[in-house]
Amino acid sequence: MSAPADTPPSASPGASPASLCCCRKSPPSGGRPADSLGRPPADAASASNFAHFRLRHFHLDLRLNFALKEMSGWMVADLCPLVPGVRTLVLDAHPSLSVRAVDCRVGGAGREPSRLAFRLEPFAEFGSALKIDLPEAAAETAGTRLRISVEYAATDGPAIWWLDSELTCGRDRPLVFTQGHSVSNRSFFPCFDSPAVKSTYTAAIRVPDGVTALMSASRSWYAKAERVFHFAMDTPVPAYLVALVAGNLRHADVGPRSRVWAEPCLLSCAAEKLGGGVERWLTVAEGLFGRYLWGRCDLVFLPPSFPIVAMENPCVTFIIASILESSDFLLIDVIHEIAHAWFGNAVTNASWEEMWLSEGLATYAQRRITTEAYGAAFTCLESTVRLDALRRQLRLLGEDDPVSRLQVKLEPGVNPSTLMNLFTYEKGFCFVAYLSWLCGDVRRFDGFLRDYVGRFKFRSVAARDFLDLYLATFPEAARKEGVDFERWLTGCGAPAWQPDLSAGAALTGPVDELCRLWMAPRAPEPREAAGVADMSGWSTFQVVLFLDRMLDRAPLSHEVMCGLRACYASLLDDLNAEVQVRWLQLVVRSGFWADLPRLRAFLAKHTSRMYTLPLYEDLSAGAMRGVAADVFRQTRRRLHPNLRRALERLVTRGPPDAPPSPPPAPAGSSLRDVDVSA
């Protein structure tokens, strides 16, 4: 594919001029503005009445019981009403929570708490409403300090993942972790589960002997006699960024402010793979976007059951251990999560309708970091892989699908997690890169992003806040012909502009040549293919780009599959799972039975959702569906129950009408396009 032009073209040749220029109208904002009292707008995904209260702080005191798979204890919220006359406090909760009692203390310390009436009411498939009747004294005046204590137990809701010993990497002790994005943490603790609400928190986690607990917190200490881990997050964060993991974990320092955590069997590999990279990437990021605001930058590697690739929990990123197989993908995923420290964590999208403010900006920041650290060619290669995937998804969905908008309308009852897709990342990236191009100087745009974080840090914002600051910083950008922010935010389809990726031609050019050779009417001889490009010297991203483009042509003929196998079989065996899963998708889609042993071996080894689900989807859609059922029977005991249920539905249903799934989403996203609640 030829690189995009260096001028900002329309979405398609001959498109009409922009109908709404940003210099004539205020940029749109998906969320409604705050009211006259400064209260945040409503959130369709939250059952709570958070706009009526200011949450000052909350505390969790929980005991972990691995035998019962239960967390039990208290959530204590320190808050005050913003308006007088509020008689009900509504918190987000979940049917899996068992609420046992609610107490309230009005005013300062020394007051006696009172027991309050409460009820759990249905809200949506992903949560409930915990409605608490407040005492009269609490409603008399705005600003009255309330301390609400909720006694509860949490079991197996969508946020909490209990792993039996056989599902861990070491297979010797159980482990539990939480995953809150987007609206799952309401099954972890009752809360204002909206990105519009930020607060500090503390926690006391009581564990069995031999268990280490970690949380997304600024500080921690351990009371050995009581076996209690204490945590304090001193910086305001939204509920979805509160995270916990507990199990047989050990650590190794990999930098002056970075530590890697993992099960003992993984620790040396993880520490060796990261080396001094984390500090290098942090230093580059600080040079671009300002001081790192979170103190620690630790990483914990979790077993293959972790439902996504990585999650940017402040101070301690959660990341799937499977990614250790690929140094290139590990690098991109860790740098992406580091970028979230500025974009997503420090400054957060106030509404799930504008997730591009987190993911689009973080993807842009990730690529600025890799450009400074590894050069433009590497960044352009990775961007090409990702933008290819975006075009692939657009072909499947169609140009008019509303999920391709940057600014979406979240309807009541819709889980915001369903809005996470490549458009959030890659169309968002293209928009941010376009804004950088408009201002005419990438270094000036770096300075603007530093100012943006400095102005809005520890707050939740709307697109209007970001774009108003941009126009105030670069007023000349608004005067350029065709500038149309509304089209970017509310228009469906492909990005209206894409960055010039020609700096990656030295890396993408050989891939293009090899694709042309293998897509010719006659399959080449091995010596002929080797003369065009020696794949043994390629990076993972080059091989992935080649296989993704061959997948676009699948099913391939038996002759071509035999030729590919003859040329690259030994190479594929030595490469990582990101490469192997794509080759095996080619095997399945092309009905290439000769490589069935390799497929069986891969699925017997890999039990993470990101590798198994794409293959099972393809297997269940074609002539190899019997293989899917057979492999599932052999491996089901080593699959997490959530993944087991998803795969069981695939192998037991009739042949679907839908086409097979696209190749798995490439690296660089903290949340790949998966349903973590399946």
Which DSSP symbol is given to 556?
P
β-strand partners of 65: 70
Residue by residue, DSSP assigns 13-62 as: TTPPPPSS-TTTSPPP-SSPPP-TT-PPPP-TT--S-GGGEEEEEEEEEE
Neighbours of 571 (CB within 10 A): 14
8-state DSSP, 343: B
In angstroms, rounded to a whole number, what is the distance separating the alpha carbons of residues 58 and 81? 15
Q: Is 337 a catalytic residue?
A: yes
What is residue 158's three-state secondary structure? coil
* Separation between Cα atoms, residue 562 and residue 192, nearest integer Å: 57
CA distance 261 to 341: 19
3-state secondary structure of 278: helix
For 130, the token pair is: 């915990």
- The 10 Å CB-count burial string (b at 16+, else e) for 127-150 is bbbbbbebeeebbeebebebbbbb
Both tokens of 342, joined, read 């500025």
Letter for the amino acid at 348?
T
Residue that the structure tokens 């450009």 belong to? 371
Q: Are the beta carbons of 355 and 415 closer than 8 angstroms?
A: no
What is the residue-wise DSSP string for 399-454?
TT-GGG-SS----TT--GGGG-SHIIIIIHHHHHHHHHHHHT-HHHHHHHHHHHHH
Answer whether 369's CB lies under 8 Å from 288's CB. yes
Other Cβ atoms closer than 10 A to 574: 9
- Omega within 30 of 0 (cis) for the link into 182: yes
At 189, phi and psi to the nearest 5?
A: -160, 150
> Could you give the strand order of the β-sheet that contains 114-115, starting from the edge strand earlier in sequence?
114-115, 98-106, 146-154, 70-81, 53-65, 199-206, 228-237, 219-223
Rounded CA-CA distance 278/281 in Å is 5
Long-range pairs for 444-448: beta carbons < 8 A, 24 or more residues apart = 444/474, 446/288, 446/289, 446/368, 448/473, 448/474
Token pair for residue 144?
């009255």
Longest dimension (CA), the chain: 85
Among residues 337, 354, 359, 426, which one is catalytic? 337
Calculate ∠ Cα 651-609-354, nearest 5°: 115
Report, as residue numbers or ranges, the catalytic residues: 337
